[in-house]
Amino acid sequence: MVNLDVEKTLSELNLDEKIALTAGTDFWHTVPIERLNISSVRTSDGPNGVRGTRFFNGVPAACLPCSTALGSTWDVNLVEQIGELLGDEARAKGAHVLLGPTINIQRSPLGGRGFESFSEDGLLSGILAGYYCKGVQSKGVGATLKHFVCNDQEHERMAVDTIVTPRALREIYLLPFQQALRICQTKCFMTAYNKVNGYHVSENGSIIDDILRKEWKWNGLIMSDWQATIPFLRSQLLPNNNHYRFGTYSTSEAINAGLDLEMPGPTRWRGSILSHAVNSRKVAEHVLDERVRNVLKLVNYAEESKIPFNAEEKGLNRPEDQKLLRRAAAESIVLLRNNGNVLPFDKNKSIAIIGPNSKVASYCGGGSAALPAYYAVTPFEGVSKASKAEVSFAQGAYAHQCLPPLGPLLKTVDGDKRGFSFKVYLEPSEERNKDTKAVDELHLISSTGFLADYKNPHLKSDLFYAEMEGVFTPEEDGLYDFGVTVIGTGGLYIDGELVVDNFTKQRQGTAFFGSATVEEYGTKELKAGTPYRVMFKYGSRPTSKLENRGVIDFGPGGFAFGASKRRDLEESIQEAVDLASKVDQVVIVAGLNGEWETEGHDREHMDLPPGSDELISRVLDVNPNAAVIIQSGTPVTMPWIEKVNVLAQAWFGGNELGNGLADVLYGDVNPSGKLSLSFPVRLQDSPSYINFGSERGRVLYGEDVYVGYRYFEKTATRTLFPFGYGLSYTAFDRSDLSLQVDSEKEVLEDGEMVTASLTVTNSGSVAGAETVQLWIQPPKIANIQRPIRELKGFTKVFLQPGEKKKVSISVEKKIATSFWDEIRKSWASESGDYTVLITGTGDEVLSAPLTVEKSRYWLGL
């Protein structure tokens, strides 16, 4: 198909067709207009992998390390390659637009989606996001910067009014979007759910029109955010009785403010309501035309990509992609402590692997960032494969909230495949005879099924019944717990015995976006090596017996069933302690997972799951050189910190997390990660502690510009580990700092660059990468409080032992020295004497003076 002549097409559209184009047709697609050859654009989540268009039984995908992990690489080349991989993955899924990256700010360790964003610092976030988007769009796939702006908590995220000063809005929260656009003009922006200073962002013209379009001269498409993930009351349902709640809240206000596309479809706020608004002149037709024009330009971009419309979804899982993901997992790991150079471990020595995350692949956080991975390598698998000696294991403690999925542990009844059968019937089992045939049969591995997009031509309504069957052969004798969570009804049978009843007793829970029951439990004593027939009977959403049905309605419903051997915590920890006392090399893998860090709700505290701290502490008592590996997307408390000699932050590491961890533990990769966010000692030390979460519908950003390291340095508050910190297996020296200021015709104008040049030397015995960080320390200016220093540039360089390299970091002088002047309503680079600071691995700081001779004030990118 050829590109549309946008203006000609616009003139040929009738009012109804124009209106139709400004909303989605379903969850992932825009509306096509066949009469004028206007195709449907496909979008897909998300920040750390491309899901495709199916929540239920979707095509697996590559899963990247979470964004705080990628942020901790400080590597623009790696992140650009990751973007290229995402572009290829999107093409394989037939997606023209990727709904990522997320570049909100971690103003609190408790933010439920903190793991989805790169950093607490806007410059680091924005630069990495820019290269991420550059990689994605090099493949002809549109990137989407989100969530614009101040979507930094989950608590009442659709209703909360973010009260923020103009200065903090500019210097902290808008900065990553502004910086990203300097590197890559993305095709799309996604508005945040929340309000900013009284107005929902999707209808806040001062932000999405005045700043984004007019001041920054950006000319892409602005779409709303997708579904909410919090329960709400029946009285809050929309007039058309559709149970979904989304990121568009009005008709005229949103159109006039600049929101081009309401997603997902079908429309709730446009359609006949928008037609009435145009006819009554609440929306001028030329304003509607501008919204449609941006949609048509995106359709043209999709046409140019050569990605077929309504394409079949496929997977890639190429060897080169696996290699890249392994590199990303390893390079994101931050070595926080290595007293006595305990690491790297020796592959020829036996090793004990201990802890709740050892045999669990915590490869991503929860919510819309989660997706089925092609595969996921656990830490136990990765270390075992790399080791040349005996490997032993002890559980020690669990980290799950709900029981771990049983599906991956099952075998089909015929024994040929991992997983279980999924058969769908029109009648419940008691009303069927033996000759009744299933109307659908699938093979599944995941025993968590979100059925929002499940369809079958034989089903005329959301009411149906499913039977899922497989064989479970436990590895250990013992009492096993089984659990069932449903939107609908369900029961788990083992060898014909009902073990979990979620048919008759149902209680409202928070799973599946607040729509499901709590997890109901049952137990059964099992013998190791004995095969047990597992049957899960499920009735879809209309069979639910919950009294409160005024929750988000995602079609047919959902189910989850899991299992775990019951362990006495004290006995299990003691087993781990006994094992650790007998071996030289120990690695403890603990942390969080997608249950603890997820879209829809914020964390209640910074602590590890129950039992984890005691496990770590007691193992360290008998083996002080045990390497503690923490997996989380955001900081956790570490009450055992004074005991630990070896500590690393491994994040949610994607498909290759286990192999990447093994590479670092055994020294095949020298760790080079630097923290992308500050780790406070305790929650009370975080700058947003008294101002986090919605309070009667609003949240005050009371820390103002003092977010993250800006606060800790200004108040001299000790951190557990500071922003930008990370160790290496080698040592680096930095020397010979010089500054060069380039100016056209010796006039201080836009584009004047400051280049810091220095020599970096690998003074150790191991090859490795150093991240050089450039900071600006401002002068004292009357009536203006500024942070002690601010990050303004960085670069990463790889060096062999003894090698020296000259490196340079260039920054635009006016940008590097400016703050937001609320009186002038512009950026201000005030005259005065500034200082350039250069840091990296270790405590060494280089400095050089920088003078701004003439004050100047500016707007724009």
Instruction: Tell me the C-alpha distance between 191 and 123, whole Å.
Output: 20
DSSP annotation of 97: E
Instruction: Tell me the C-alpha distance between 565 and 615, whole Å.
Output: 18
Residue matched to tokens 């956790």: 636
3-state secondary structure of 126: helix
Q: In what order do the strands lie in the sheet with 221-223?
A: 43-44, 97-98, 142-148, 188-191, 221-223
Residue matched to tokens 């990553």: 176
Q: CB neighbours of 794 closer than 8 A, spacing ≥ 6?
A: 74, 124, 127, 771, 772, 773, 774, 809
Question: E strand or H helix at 122, and its extent?
Answer: helix 122-137
* Helices 76-92 and 122-137, packing angle to 10 deg: 40
The 3-class secondary structure across 236-302, one letter per residue, is HCCCCCCCCCCCCCCCHHHHHHCCCEECCCCCCCCHHHHHHHHHCCCCCHHHHHHHHHHHHHHHHHH
Handedness of CA 658, 659, 661, 662 (dihedral sign): positive
Q: Nearest Cα to 576, choosing from 395, 335, 454? A: 395
Q: Nearest Cα to 739, choosing from 606, 838, 624? A: 838
Q: Chain-centre distance of CA 649, in angstroms?
A: 17
**Contact, 215 vs 254, CB < 8 A?**
no
- Positions marked active-site: 225
**Contact, 557 vs 454, CB < 8 A?**
no
Residue matched to tokens 């107005």: 199
Identify the burial level of 35 via C-beta atoms within 10 angstroms of its C-beta, where 0-12 means exposed, 13-18 middle and 19 or more buried: exposed
The 3-class secondary structure across 452-516, one letter per residue, is HHCCCCCCCCCCCEEEEEEEECCCCCEEEEEEEEEECEEEEEECCEEEEEECCCCCECCHHHHCC
Gyration radius (Cα) of the chain, Å: 27
3-state secondary structure of 684: helix
